[in-house]
Amino acid sequence: MSKIGFIGLGIMGRPMAGHLMDAGHELVTFVKRGSLHEDMASKGMKQVESAKAVAEQSDIIITMVPDTPDVEEVLLGEGGVIEGLKPGTLVIDMSSIAPIPTQEMAKRITDAGGEFVDAPVSGGEGGAINAALTIMVGGPEESFKRALPVLEVMGKTITHIGDHGSGQICKVANQIVVALTIEATAEGLLFASKAGADVAKVREALLGGLAQSKILDVHGDRMINRTFDPGFRIRLHQKDLNLALESARSLNLSLPGTANAQQLFQACAANNGADWDHAGIVRALEKLADHEIGS
């Protein structure tokens, strides 16, 4: 069993860390604000005063924080992981962040004597709770093999995409597909409802045909039953689509569907919906249609 530092105990990080402790690993964390959540403390997680102290007590370090600057601060900032990094420590960043800064951070960690893989996840809160996450990994083959037994505790589908940063590239692609599929689900169900059909039966029928998807199943149900507690927050999906659109500009690439989905998320945020589940994109479309699904 390993001594693992786990930084980032949010909606998804907490159950992920819980699975690692259930598997017998010894976990230590740094909490920037507030105190350690009671359920983590009861499982035996130890809290220390800095990310540096986490590194000093760990053989493997996992970060699961919201955005690129957060990872940079935890890993490279004052009192950060790099200051306490022991030779051979494996750093696994499971956050969803920008690919190029990921490559730069990987170089800093490896130059300091550590190993690094980027391993962003998909599957949302449910996937984290059920240890069924999809994990996309970037880094050298040897580092991937070392990380794999730990990742298998938290996920089911684990794919080594390529070298440093390629896991994050894959995650950005994932978030494009997810956003557009949620929007398509919202448009289809809104059309059916406005046209007078029983929207629950429409969803049931679509789940048996080519339109079937996990998003139609899970988020279609959220839209019909008006359950918009996250899940995965709109503001976090906005962050991921910003990464997609910024990267697209640097590649001289047009992503019109992604830009449209981002505008609909922005409309939700403008109506106090930044912390809705991303299925709440339907509310922006409902406002345009002056019709709520199921009404």
Residue 25 CA to chain centroid, in angstroms? 23
For this structure, is 3 an active site residue?
no
> Beta partners for 28?
5, 46
Q: Could you say which of 3, 52, 145, 171 is catalytic?
A: 171
Comparing CA positions, the residue from 98, 96, 106 lying closest to residue 133 is 96
Give the E-state strand segments of the chain in sequence order. 3-7, 26-30, 46-48, 60-63, 90-93, 115-118, 121-122, 133-138, 155-162
Comparing CA positions, the residue from 107, 58, 50 lying closest to residue 77 is 50
Q: What angle do CA 30, 273, 169 make, to 5 degrees?
A: 60
Across 92-127, b (16+ Cβ under 10 Å) vs e yields bbbbbbbbeebbebbeebbebebbbbbbbbbbbbeb
Helix, strand, coil percentages for the chain (3-state, nearest 5)? 55, 15, 30
Q: Look-up: residue for tokens 């998804």? A: 12
How far apart are the C-alpha atoms of 267 and 72, rounded to whole Å? Answer: 30
How far apart are the C-alpha atoms of 167 and 154, rounded to whole Å? Answer: 16
DSSP string, 237-292: HHHHHHHHHHHHHHTT---HHHHHHHHHHHHHHHTT-TTSBGGGHHHHHHHHHT--
- Give catalytic residues, as residue numbers: 171
